């Protein structure tokens, strides 16, 4: 092969190397651009999700404090991690975080949080005597609802809703007392009628 042929041959190889190099650089630049755009998009989506989650959390927090029922969140040992305004008013405690539910409620026959959960689930909805607390304004009867929530790490927490049903209980007691008085009055009236007519009471 002559010198000229070698020169053209080398020129062809050099040109090919340059083209390959340009292609590689172009591909790398495109990859970097796509990677950059993806990262920025991810950041944007992540921030958007964070903002939405924050907004939802604020809404839920606001709603919980507007509730008239006491709302408590506790771990699996019964230690309170969060409480709404109604709960603070119910227990007359400005801070409930860190306190024990079983200590606050002092439920009869409950020797721990598991007993309390079992009692709250198995108690008849018409019987509230076991779920009562003594407050400055007097005895308060409670309707207790409990829900367990599983977290992604397989741990759990409990959501408790405590409704003040004192008026309902008082109405039930007044009705029961009225029925007993009426029954006694009826029995006395029948007895008086029998005696008045000179009939022997068997």
166-178 tens-digit pLDDT: 888 777 777 777 7
Q: Does residue 73 share a domain with residue 62?
A: no
Question: Cβ distance 104 to 91 under 8 Å?
Answer: yes
Please compute, for residue 199, the number of CA atoms within 13 A of its CA located in the half-sphere on the CB side: 8
Between 78 and 123, where is the model more confident? 78
Domain of residue 149, CATH code = 3.30.450.20
Q: Does residue 147 share a domain with residue 99?
A: yes
Q: Does residue 124 share a domain with residue 99?
A: yes
* pLDDT value, residue 62: 59
Task: Read off the pLDDT of residues 81-92 as tens digits, 9 standing for 90 and up.
Answer: 989 888 988 888
Question: Cβ distance 80 to 72 under 8 Å?
Answer: yes
């Amino acid at each position: 092969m002559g010198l000229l042929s070698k020169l053209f041959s080398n020129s062809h190889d050099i040109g090919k190397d340059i083209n390959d190099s340009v292609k590689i650089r172009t591909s790398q630049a495109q990859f970097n651009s796509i990677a950059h755009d993806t990262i920025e998009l991810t950041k944007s989506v992540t921030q958007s999700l964070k903002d939405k989650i924050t907004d939802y959390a604020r809404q839920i927090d606001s709603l919980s404090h507007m509730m008239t029922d006491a709302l408590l969140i506790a771990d699996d040992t019964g230690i309170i991690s969060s409480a709404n305004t109604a709960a603070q008013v119910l227990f007359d405690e400005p801070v409930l975080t860190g306190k024990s539910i079983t200590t606050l409620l002092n439920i009869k026959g409950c020797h721990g949080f598991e007993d309390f959960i079992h009692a709250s689930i198995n108690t008849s909805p018409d019987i509230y005597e076991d779920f009562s607390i003594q407050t400055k304004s007097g005895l308060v009867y409670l309707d207790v609802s409990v829900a367990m929530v599983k977290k992604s790490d397989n741990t759990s927490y409990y959501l408790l809703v405590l409704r003040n049903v004192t008026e309902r209980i008082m109405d039930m007691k007044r009705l029961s007392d009225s029925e007993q008085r009426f029954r006694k009055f009826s029995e006395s009236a029948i007895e008086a009628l029998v005696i008045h007519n000179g009939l022997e009471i068997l």
